[in-house]
Amino acid sequence: MGAQLRAVRQRIRAVQSTAKITRAQELIASSRIVKAQQRVQAAAPYAREITRAVEAVFSRSSQVHHPLTSEHENPARAAVLILTSDRGFCGGYNASVLREAQGLRALLEERGLEAVPFVSGRKGIGWHRFRGREMAGEWSGFSDTPVHANASEITSVLIDAFGKPAAEGGVDEIYIVYTELVSMLTQRPVIRRLLPLQIEETTEEPPSGPVPVYEFEPSPEAVLDALLPWYVESRIFHALLDSAAAEIAARRKAMKSATDNANDLLDALTREANKARQAEITQEISEIVGGANALAETIAGSK
């Protein structure tokens, strides 16, 4: 019985140590999530204005042709940028985005396109390496605190690949798979096509108001040469920021769940320890009473 009690107490100490770690991780994530959301909000005006500028070029110019907006007749390869985390302890965050990327890969293969992965985050890189899948590009070390330079580096590689023919190792389409922060409790993996840019013709006024009137010098095509890489870069940077906020929120939720489970397990183990201790005390009392009775009988028999 004593061995059982010692084993239970060892488990209690181990669970208490785990609960302290998960609780600390939860508090750290809670302190970081607000800053992550503020970074997403701070980047929104720039992304919104550059999107309006691109819309203005197409709406005020007739028959604009640009390589970044032209559909390939026979696409053969598609780049898939997958944003994962550098660290764990975030529940199903990485599994969800990788599963979504696998679904996109299957859809592309049905269309006859080869999916070329570009991966950001150590978890995604490790996942591809473990399965022996080659990556055309990989980045890590900034999943929870991305900066604009990280988006610029990724954009440069993707734009270069898009500018090459598929036969020379280039790509015809670019997709991004990342996790969108819906709320503190909900994170949703999403897929967006970055290039070629999809142009929709409509007679309705945009929600943000009328499109500004610009004069383009020297030509709309030259303006797009400068605007579209910035547009793609802003989309990737916003996705990095959104993924970082979703990662921290997922880590907070996972650590809170782990802490709650540890506390529930501590309650169960404490009850088990109390039962074992009570049984040990009962056995000791029985042994004492039995010994006293035996001694009394021995003394009575000797008289």
pLDDT at 192 over 70: yes
Q: Give the list of residues 6+ apart from residue 249 with CB closer than 8 angstroms, or none.
A: 29, 33, 36, 181, 183, 184, 185, 187
With respect to residue 199, please indicate whether it lies within any of the assigned structural domains. yes
With respect to residue 3, please indicate whether it lies within any of the assigned structural domains. no
Confidence of residue 210 (pLDDT cuts 50, 70, 90): low
With respect to residue 4, please indicate whether it lies within any of the assigned structural domains. no
Burial class (CB in 10 A: 0-12, 13-18, 19+), 297: exposed
For the entire predicted model, the pTM comes to 0.84
With respect to residue 287, please indicate whether it lies within any of the assigned structural domains. no
Q: Which residues pair with 82 in a beta bridge?
A: 119, 177
With respect to residue 105, please indicate whether it lies within any of the assigned structural domains. yes
Query: From the centroid of its chain, how far is CA 18?
Result: 23
Confidence of residue 125 (pLDDT cuts 50, 70, 90): very high
Burial class (CB in 10 A: 0-12, 13-18, 19+), 159: middle
Per the structure, the complete domain to which residue 117 belongs is given by 27-256
Judge whether 193 and 174 are in contact, CB under 8 Å.
Answer: yes
Residue 47: which CATH number?
Answer: 3.40.1380.10
pLDDT at residue 204, rounded to an integer: 64
Give me the number of domains the chain comprises.
1
With respect to residue 293, please indicate whether it lies within any of the assigned structural domains. no
Judge whether 72 and 164 are in contact, CB under 8 Å.
Answer: no
d(CA 270, CA 31): 32
Judge whether 241 and 144 are in contact, CB under 8 Å.
Answer: no
Q: For tokens 């040469």, what's the residue?
A: 225
Judge whether 110 and 192 are in contact, CB under 8 Å.
Answer: no
Tens-digit pLDDT profile for residues 20-60: 999 998 999 988 999 999 999 998 888 888 888 777 777 66
With respect to residue 135, please indicate whether it lies within any of the assigned structural domains. yes
pLDDT at 267 over 80: yes
Judge whether 221 and 64 are in contact, CB under 8 Å.
Answer: yes
With respect to residue 60, please indicate whether it lies within any of the assigned structural domains. yes
